[in-house]
Structure formats: C-alpha cells, structure tokens
Chain A
Amino acid sequence: MEYFLELFLGGMTRGSIYALIALGYTMVYGIIGLINFAHGEIYMIGAFTALITASVLTIFGLNPFAILVLAGLAAVVYSSAYGFTIEKVAYKPLRNAPRLSPLISAIGMSIFLQNYVLLAQTSDFMPFPNLIPEFAFMEPWAHIIGSSEIVILAVTAVAMVLLTLLIKFTRIGKAMRATAQDRKMAMLVGVNINRVISVTFIIGSSLAAIGGLLIASHIGQINFYIGFIAGIKAFTAAVLGGIGSIPGAVLGSFVLGWTESFATGYISSDYEDVFAFSLLVLILIFRPAGILGRSESKKV
C-alpha cells in the first residue's frame, strides 16, 4: 500500500510538470491552431534562467526560499520574453500562410533554440542547487513523498486555480475564449487579436518556466536537451486530454504521469516510454479527439 501511494504521488508530481508545459501547447493550439514545437525549449530556457539566477544568488548567500522565488520570477520573465518574441518573429508573419508553414517555422525555432543553448552552455549536465530543504514535519513520510514533490504539487495547484480564474472571469480570459471559438467574430466585437495571441504565449511560457524551475530543482541537473523530451511528453499529454482543452491538458498530464509511474514501479523502468506512447495510441484509436476534446465537426 505504501509503495502504491509512493507511485501514485510520484506519478502526480510528474503529471504536474507535464501539465505546466502541456497548458502552453493546448492554449496556443486553441487560439491559433498551431503546435508550437518550440514550447519545450521555452521550458528549458526557463530552467537555465533559474539555474543562472540561483547560482548567482547563492553566492550572495540568500536563504533558499528567497532564491527559489527570485529564480522563479527571473525564469518567468525571461521565458515569457522568448515566447512573446518567437510568436512575433516566427509565427505572426505566417498567420495567413498554409497551415504547414508555421509548423515548419516552429520546428526550426525549436532546433535553433536548442543549438543556441548548446553553444552557450555546452552539452554537459549542469548541477542545479537544491533549493527546497527537507521539511522536518514530513520526516515520517519521507520515503513516500519528498518536500520538493510537495512543493511541485502545491505550486501546480495554485497555478491551475489562478489560470482557471483568469480564463473564466477576467476580460482578457473571456477574449481568449471568444478568440479560440470564433476569431473573426471576436474581431467584430472589437477584440484585439494580436494582444490576445501575445498574452496566450506569455501565459503559456510563464507556466512552462515554472515547470522548468521546479523540475530542475527536483532532479538536480539540466542540459540543453531537457526541453525536447519534456516537450514531447507534455505534447502527448495535451493530445491525450484533447488538444485545445485546458482541463483536458491537465487530465491528460496526470494520466500520463500515473501511467509512467505505475509502469515503471510495477513492471520495468525500461518500458516507461513504451507504456506512455501505447496509451496515447490506444486513446487516439478509441477517442480520436482525446479524453475531453471536442470533435472538429462540433467545434465549428
């Protein structure tokens, strides 16, 4: 039973990180119908920004919690700037081009950013300072869940609640939903589409940056390639849940996290990815639109 609980919470932690990244994929897809392949790199850049900020602040001897918050802020700002700029440079000029063009542009962006970080930071794994101390009160359960996992779960939960409130109740949130449902009509009621798209990229990038910081401090090392793998997993989760659907992305992420965790724990860690992608194939065969996705015909 304890082992089960450990795997369950471990899967949920993984799922949280996937969710933070998957939301960016699904929101961008919902608004402009593009799979933003460079999104995994945004997450990786967030992790590196956090690493650099944390390293510098550690020299100044700040307390770990303050470093965590400041590194997170730096990662959010820096990744958002990248996300915002990528949209303006690589996608906006292609908005009326055939669907394949922005997709190729996205892949190009992804390769460019990976290599840019590779050149700047080398391919070596860099140690990430441990910013989340073990909580004393968690001592008896330490073998089931660690403090960094608790922080990941808590931060993700808070981020999800804030995002939900933003989408449901704010003016920009309503404009985002309206734009996703009917772009031309949104323009006809006076929504500034360019602003909505930029805000979507900024929100998606911020969430990915938080994911980058959390995973880096959990695992303890990063390199230029982490965005590629996490990106593919998160994208899988978004498709699993139904691309374009926000609750779908979160649900898909948890399902994927649990699948990996239980498959690794009860069967073999060698087959982690096999199970993850088999699940994807199965779901797409039986529910092509994903778990919570709306089928294309209903969308119109």
Chain B
Amino acid sequence: MLDLVNIQTYYGNIQALKNISIHIDEGEIVTLIGANGAGKTTTLMSISGIVPPKSGTITFLGEPIHDLNAEQIVARGISQVPEGRHIFPYLTVMENLDMGAFLRTDKRNIRADLEMIFEMFPILSDRRHQEGGTLSGGEQQMLAISRALMARPRLLLLDEPSLGLAPLIIKKIFIIIKEINRTRNTTIFLVEQNANLALHVADRGYVMENGSITMEDTAAALLVNEDVKRSYLGI
C-alpha cells in the first residue's frame, strides 16, 4: 500500500533521513521505533508532504506521491496525528473535528462518522462546544485521533500517541487503535518510543537509528531480539 524507497530528507544542510526504505501492506499495523532524534517524526512529515524528501520515491496505492503537496496527500487518503497532538486550541471540539473533514464534501457520511466517533469517545460529545485547548492531555489525544479519522483515511499515521499520558489512558488509546485497524480496515503506521507497547499491537516493526533503518522484522521477532531488548525494551 505504501512504499518508501531510498528516502533522503534534509533540514537545510542537516540530513535527517539517510536512504530509508519502508514498506506497509494494506490492513497492517506497522510500527517505527527509535531513540530521540532518530528521524521518526521526519519520516512521517516526509510522507505527509510537510518536509518533502530530497530524493527517493514514495508510492501510495500504486501512485507516486512524493511530488504532491500536503493537501493532495490528505485527499489521497493519508492522515496524520502529529507528535504533541496539535489540537487547534481556540477552535471548539466540534470545529476541530470539522477541520478533520476539511476536504470532504459527502455531508451524510461525515455525520455518520461523527456519530461513530462520539460513540467511541463519549467524552468528546460532552465537550463538543468547549475549546480544544482546554481539554486534558488524554482528551486531546482522543480528539487528535478523531480529527484524523474524520478524513476517512486509508492510512493513519500516528506519532507517539502515548506521549505524556497516564498508563490507563495509554491502554485505552491503544485498544482504540487496534479497533480502528480491525473494524474500519484502516492501515496504521505507528511511531513510538514506547517500544514494548508498540510491538505488542503491531504486526511488523522497523527500528531506526540516526536517520537509518537498522532492523526490520515481525513484531513478535523484534520483541525477543536481544539488541532490541537491550536498547529499547530496557530488559
């Protein structure tokens, strides 16, 4: 479904991604783990067209997308929940959700999706007229995921959804991620520093170090890999 081949991305003269290749099949949950500054966020920003790669190709559903702008990439069916959630602070919960559906015109389906989201996260329904910036961290993460879902993506990019949340909320968020993948048939690319958690929900995983992919395997295999255990699982 998504293929990154030899991607190189720069910030000015600084090379953040060094020739990385990643492959994701339809229906999978694939995770990308790595330390701070490894280049995980940059990878997602390259896919979304915010920091376009300098060389290499990105193919989505058989068509190249590395030359498209961010708007066109969303329209193709890739939505991102960025690191730090990025809720529009002075838009209401409802308006934040509306922004998620910004490029859609199918009013009736939008309504149905909204109801589905309020069923999944009843708290958002209670808070629908409240400004996004006033929500708690956990609620903001739910809103960020919901906003991305309002675009009806084929592929959902999640950047550290567990960041700064209490264990109970993290558990809930990950159950929802799994459920989105299963019931809505949404493919998921999950960036996480919490490798243990990520490898438990994912089918496959990539390990990134200093802008390069250093390992790639099934999640089950990575969980028992000695290097991964030592570096990322803290065992």
Residues of A within 8 A of B (CB): 171, 174-175, 177-178, 181-182, 184-192
Q: Provide the residues of chain B in CB contact with A189, threshold 8 Å.
A: 74, 79, 99-100, 102-103, 147, 151
- Assuming A171-B102, A174-B91, what are 8 further A-B pairs, CB within 8 angstroms? A178-B99, A181-B91, A185-B82, A187-B50, A187-B71, A189-B79, A191-B102, A192-B71
Decide if B75 is an interface residue (CB 8 Å cutoff): yes
Decide if B232 is an interface residue (CB 8 Å cutoff): no
- Report the bound CA distance from A181 to B96 in whole Å: 11
B90 touches A177 (CB 8 A): yes
Q: A181-B88, A182-B88 are in contact. Are A190 and B103 (CB under 8 A)?
A: yes
Question: Can you list 26 contacts pairing A with B, beta carbon distance less than 8 Å?
Answer: A174-B98, A174-B99, A175-B99, A177-B90, A178-B88, A178-B91, A181-B88, A181-B91, A182-B86, A184-B82, A185-B82, A185-B88, A187-B50, A188-B48, A188-B74, A188-B79, A188-B80, A188-B82, A188-B86, A189-B103, A189-B151, A190-B71, A190-B74, A190-B75, A190-B102, A191-B71
B91 touches A190 (CB 8 A): no
- Report the bound CA distance from A190 to B86 in whole Å: 14
- Report the bound CA distance from A188 to B147 in whole Å: 11
A181 touches B50 (CB 8 A): no
B99 touches A181 (CB 8 A): no
A190 touches B151 (CB 8 A): yes
Q: A184-B82, A188-B50 are in contact. Are A177 and B102 (CB under 8 A)?
A: no
- The number of residues on chain B lying at the interface, defined by a beta carbon within 8 Å of a beta carbon of chain A, is 23
Decide if B122 is an interface residue (CB 8 Å cutoff): no
Residues of B within 8 A of A (CB): 48, 50, 69-71, 74-75, 79-80, 82, 86, 88-91, 95, 98-100, 102-103, 147, 151
B195 to chain A, nearest CB (A): 25
A286 to chain B, nearest CB (A): 24
Q: Provide the residues of chain B in CB contact with A187, threshold 8 Å.
A: 50, 70-71
Q: Provide the residues of chain A in CB contact with B75, threshold 8 Å.
A: 190
- Report the bound CA distance from A138 to B198 in whole Å: 75
Q: A190-B71, A191-B102 are in contact. Are A181 and B48 (CB under 8 A)?
A: no
A177 touches B91 (CB 8 A): yes
Shortest Cβ-Cβ A-B pairs, 9 listed: A190-B74, A185-B86, A190-B103, A187-B70, A190-B71, A181-B88, A189-B99, A189-B102, A190-B102
B70 to chain A, nearest CB (A): 4
Question: Within the complex, which residue of B48, B88, B100, B147 is in contact with A177, where a contact is CB–CB below 8 Å?
Answer: B88
- Report the bound CA distance from A175 to B90 in whole Å: 13
